[in-house]
Structure 1
Amino acid sequence: VGAGLFSVAGTLLLPGLAALVQDWRLLQGLGALMSGLLLLFWGFPALFPESPCWLLATGQVARARKILWRFAEASGVDPEDSSLEENSLATELAMLSAGSPQPRYHSLLGLLRTQVTWRNGLILGFSSLVGGGIRASFRRSLAPQVPTFYLPYFLEAGLEAAALVFLLLTADCCGRRPVLLLGTMVTGLASLLLLAGAQYLPGWTVLFLSVLGLLASRAVSALSSLFAAEVFPTVIRGAGLGLVLGAGFLGQAAGPLDTLHGRQGFFLQQVVFASLAVLALLCVLLLPESRSRGLPQSLQDADRLRRSPLLRGCPRQDHLPLLPPSNSCWAGHTPEQH
């Protein structure tokens, strides 16, 4: 969410920078130079150390111990002379190091051997694709209502900031899945209403539906990434998150395609994305709720994430259909408890 807000700030600053430079070649070179300088910092381990959680999950205990000790020393804590809890952690790390486990690296192909995780990743990638691609339909409907050149640009940046603030206020108290379900439902409903009645609705209604659809679609894209970071296990979290983000950028390719001169078939594109939004609404119901849960470390841990009812019921188990009965809420209970 913080990275999204920085992206909004860059979007708002870009027109001013373009007005100062006034040469798109110089502007492009300046942007590439600044990005390259920032990316160079990622190569310094002192500034951006590797994740100890990932190192421990993949069996690289020695490297994880060095980084954790560095964190402790930077916090002013002596790892060799600390509290009982920290000493127990040091003892556990020493025992793991003595075993000398071989590093266990994983790839996205490991998802093919899972029962639930691959489906969760597919649904989140699909929702990110729809959220990124359906924006072209809302921009197309918004353009006649807002003829000013800069106003739609700044409006979209403001809507992205509003979507991120909305997630900050709701995703933690209401849960990831209900908010994603709400955003997908609003996106699909706004798209269907514009598709069916854009020619008959008054201008203010079309403007309202376009703004609402852009807001909801941006919330869906951002929440899909957040959801993916909590559903994918630590051993492949980076690759899984990249897959979901890549699906979102692939969907955004519908925007430049729409602006091609003389291009036909926009109505068909709008129909396709509206239908995909309705399908994504049904798929979101299959996702587990990740709020207030520990992050899964291994593929087996991620496969234990099961769906739960939206409003009430067992919070950590799944007694809904489409999964084996052994995973239900009543599994492991005696007949008297039933």
Structure 2
Amino acid sequence: MSALLDVSGLVVAFGDVPTVRGVSFAVEKGQTLAIVGESGSGKSLSSLAVLGLLPPQARVTAGDIRWEGQDLLALGDTEIRRLRGEQLAMIFQDPLSALNPSLTVGYQIAEMFRRRRGMRRRQARAQAIEAMTEVGIPDAGQRFGAYPHEFSGGMRQRVMIAIALALEPKLLIADEPTTALDVTVQAQVLRLLRRRQSEGLSMIIISHDLGVVARTAQSVVVMYAGQAVETGTVADVYPAPAHPYTVGLMAASPSARDGRREVLPIEGYPPDIATLPSGCVFHPRCPFARERCRVEEPALREVAPGRSSACHYAEEVLTSGAELDHAGA
């Protein structure tokens, strides 16, 4: 089965500095892919490249992005703008900055129906109120005329979801959809997304929250310093990581430690993308590092059916993850 979205060897650079370095992933119809990693790992930038929304100083310098077989990088601004909303949609990380503060939330939702569906104002208003109700905004008819600052963080996130889903896209990219939400609102937002999943929506979830990933995604790409260091299904990767960085993420996540209370941080800091260390970029923080790791960069390779890892000693990591965990990885 061909993928809805197929990204291959994607490189995104700011000037002469590549910040996304050869990332590949695919999203099948009705499936959810998670992209996880620390801040600055290139998660959001990869997805912005898919939508043609990179900041002016960034550009794609290599790789392919294909949507249902169509080369997105070959499309002009007008052509890719038609795909946004209709086929591809995104929930941005900060709903307050993504929404226009000078326009009511109802107007911003209704505008989608007027511009893309040619609806008259009254019909677009009715559709917008229906969309607000669907995502759980109470008294949607009365709150149609409210401004973004009059909504709580959770309600603004629901508005963003309503806008993203208004035109029934095939693929939704959700960038940290539950960041800064309390656990109750987080659960409500995730239920909304899972319901649309059950109706056939494909998704990319960008998150550093491994618990959110476990509840929403079937497959995962783990990113570090602009590149994918591990890929596989959530069912395979979570119980038995094949890269020391993934082991470290699991150890540092309370929701991913099978009820254990102790949280073990990854020692050190992510590298400066402009001055990456030689060899494996993770080796300065890796308790498994050896001399080979300091001089030879590992390729992302298959280590088991459907599993890939960019570690020279991935097979050993698979069998000794618990030992690495206790060593402080």
Higher-helix-fraction structure: 1
Pair in the same fold by TM > 0.5: no
Larger radius of gyration: 1
Q: TM-score normalised by the shorter chain: which range applies?
A: under 0.3
Q: Which has the higher contact order (CA 8 A, sep 6+)?
A: 1
